[in-house]
Chains A and B, each alone.
Chain A
Amino acid sequence: MSTTTPTPVPTSTSAPGAHDAPSAARPAYPPIPFARVVSVELRKMFDTRSGLWLLASIGFLSLLATAAVIAFAPDSELTYETFASAVGIPMSVVLPVIAILSVTSEWSQRTGLATFTFVPQRGRVISAKLVCAVAVGVVSIAVAAAVGALGNLVGSAIAGVDATWDVSVTELGLIVLANVLGLLVGFMLGVLLRSSPAAIVAYFVYGFVLAGLTALLAASQPWFADLQPWVDFNFSQTSLYDGVPSAEQWAQLGTSGLLWLVLPLAVGLRMVVRSEVK
């Protein structure tokens, strides 16, 4: 095929003259729609072995957590809440990592060179990635919740007790929200740091080390104990697991989220748009 003549000049039905002078009569190409950017970014989350395994791991880990509850939990603990918490733990680790990698791989694998050449408006690419990460997060949580529900049925049947459904739809919705917020923190760190290892380490420092430190500080310093719910995003999110948050708790989620999610994401986006892609 390499002997055939290439067609370097765009073939356009509307501008046949373009064949003679491509620079003079430029055919008008329609802009790339946002939905197309989203669909391509979604594909890119699944089309590598690592991406696929990461997503598959959500299913495996949910099954594993469910099986562990059935095997080890006493009969009295065989309630949907137990299953939901068990499958929620791997979620809270894997989802942020998926969100991080969806952003950072453009830099660590250097695919950004092609991505941002095809779509120079980098904000559109990052927005598309955000849509995909949240969508994948919500679907994953739904799958995990279903696996947990199945576990509850099977576990109760094995134990010979009636299945206990002690998690309301509202509570389930709040758990989804909490997991999506965790995923967004991962996404933010990916945008801010643009490096897979740095962002993953930062996420675990934020999620585990920092949460422990602020708890320690709050225990020893009364002034911080009062302030903590307003400025500690980890802490204010715990209210999502204890029934419906009060108006004050929503406000605390808002202020701490502004501090730990919205502001750094805005800074990160600014850096992404202005930085050099090498």
Chain B
Amino acid sequence: MITVEHLTRTYGSHTAVDDVSFTARPGRVTGFLGPNGAGKSTTMRVLVGLTPATSGTATVHGVRFRDLPNPGREVGVLLDASAQHAGRTGREVLTIAQRTLGLPADRVDAMLERVSLTRTEADRRVRNYSLGMRQRLGIAVALIGEPASLVLDEPANGLDPAGIRWMRDLLREYADGGGTVLLSSHLLHEIEVVADDIVVIGGGRIVASGTKAELLAGSGTVVRTRDLAALGAALAAAGVEAHPLDGGYRVDADAEQVGRVALAAGVALSELRAADGAGLEEMFLELTAETQREGVAA
């Protein structure tokens, strides 16, 4: 269980994290979604005590991270897979973790096997690792203490498709075994396929949170037509909000209501359906549009 309450972190006049509150529960994967620079990493760094909070609290199992007697046994953390001494071997990086946490020496080999790093790879220095191998090593370091919670910042970065699938299965199994997983990503698809709960952050603020089903349900209806102008006018007249898509709209109303509006306006539809996963993407883009560098480029 990870609880973040009214967390704020400012840098001078810039507020990187602004009154953020959310909970990651045991047995569930909580996806922390937001564009780059939205405050995901800052929130996670505050959570594990690497960055002091300006105000608010973050606790793991009800305890502040820095007050945990042996934090590595309770929370597995991977914030940046590249943050390893380039001159150490992968095995040595794991050995340092194993010794610091006071674990039996055979955990090192067990973890290497767990993340599918071969003996030869483990004995190479980290500077020769690909980003994907660094991510695997970072996951091994996070898992070595058999913690009940995991905090992972963009763990899928640099992994190949098979690696991403492997990571996804690992996190799923972990949560199904009763663990708490907090996972950040700027890629909606990554979060969508693995998360049970989603927390969306933009510009340092939580802009949406809930179960994946709830967020998907809120994404409305997709409607397409050749006569965009007429449909748009009809929807506006009916007082429902319509967001342009290519060749249509995403409408904050159910399919039946949109159908009635179109029928009354005499507009022929080429498509009418409840918004699916793509709806969440539109929501994500929309919710974070103001803070995203590209604006509403999509």
Q: Mark B96-113, 1 if CB is under 8 A from A, else 0.
A: 110111100000001001
- Using Cβ atoms and an 8 Å threshold, which residues of chain A touch B79? 113, 117
Residues of chain B in range 43-65 having any CB-CB distance to chain A below 8 Å:
45, 48-52, 61-63, 65
User: A-B pairs with CB below 8 Å: how many?
Assistant: 158
Q: A47, B92: Cβ atoms under 8 Å?
A: yes
B51 and A277 contact, CB distance less than 8 A: yes
Q: How many Å lie between the Cα of A26 and that of B51 in the bound state?
A: 25
Are B87 and A49 within 8 A (Cβ)?
yes
Chain A: residues with Cβ within 8 Å of the partner, total of 49
The answer to whether B173 has its CB under 8 Å from any CB of chain A is yes
Q: Does A121 contact B (CB under 8 A)?
A: yes
Question: A residues within 8 A CB of B36?
Answer: none
Any B CB within 8 A of the CB of A32:
yes
B185: min CB distance to chain A, Å? 19
Taking a contact as CB atoms under 8 Å apart, the answer to whether A26 and B96 are in contact is no
A6 touches B177 (CB 8 A): yes
Contact across chains for A48 and B85 when beta carbons are under 8 A apart: yes
Q: Which residues of A contact B143 (CB under 8 A)?
A: 6
Does chain B have a CB within 8 A of A255? Answer: no
When distances are taken between beta carbons in the complex, the residues of chain B under 8 Å from A242 are: none
* Any B CB within 8 A of the CB of A39: yes
Taken together as a complex, chains A and B put the C-alpha atoms of A171 and B27 apart, in Å, by 66
Complex Cα spacing A274 to B99, Å: 26
Task: Kindly supply a per-residue 1/0 record for chain A positions 1-30, scoring 1 wherever the CB is within 8 Å of any chain B CB and 0 otherwise.
Answer: 110011111110000001111110010111
A interface, by DSSP: helix, strand, loop or mixed?
A: loop
| B83 adjacent to chain A (CB < 8 Å) | yes
Of the residues B68, B88, B150, contact of A48 by C-beta under 8 Å: B88
Provide the residues of chain A in CB contact with B216, threshold 8 Å. Answer: none
Min C-beta distance of B19 to chain A, whole Å: 20
Contact with B along A183-224 (1 / 0, CB 8 A): 000000000000000000000000000000000000000000
Rounded to whole angstroms, the CA-CA distance of A95 and B262 in the bound complex is 81
Q: Are B70 and A31 in contact (CB under 8 A)?
A: yes
Query: Are A109 and B86 interface neighbours, CB within 8 A?
Result: yes
How distant is A156 from chain B, measured CB to nearest CB, in Å?
Answer: 42
- A276 CB–B CB distance under 8 Å: yes
* Complex CA–CA separation, A119 to B147 (angstroms): 15
Answer whether residue A43 sits at the interface, using C-beta atoms and an 8 A cutoff. Answer: yes
A46 to chain B, nearest CB (A): 10
Task: Return B48 CB to nearest CB of chain A, in Å.
Answer: 5
Extra contacts, 4 of them, besides A6-B173, A113-B80, A120-B66 (Cβ < 8 A), are A1-B110, A8-B179, A22-B61, A29-B68
Q: What are 17 A-B pairs at a CB distance below 8 A?
A: A1-B113, A2-B114, A2-B166, A8-B148, A9-B178, A26-B63, A31-B70, A36-B99, A48-B85, A49-B125, A51-B87, A109-B84, A109-B86, A114-B84, A114-B96, A116-B50, A117-B71
Q: Could you list which residues of chain A lie within 8 angstroms of chain B, going by C-beta atoms?
A: 1-2, 5-11, 18-23, 26, 28-32, 36-37, 39-40, 43-44, 47-51, 105, 109-114, 116-121, 274, 276-278
Ranked 3 nearest A-B pairs via Cβ: A8-B179, A48-B87, A22-B148
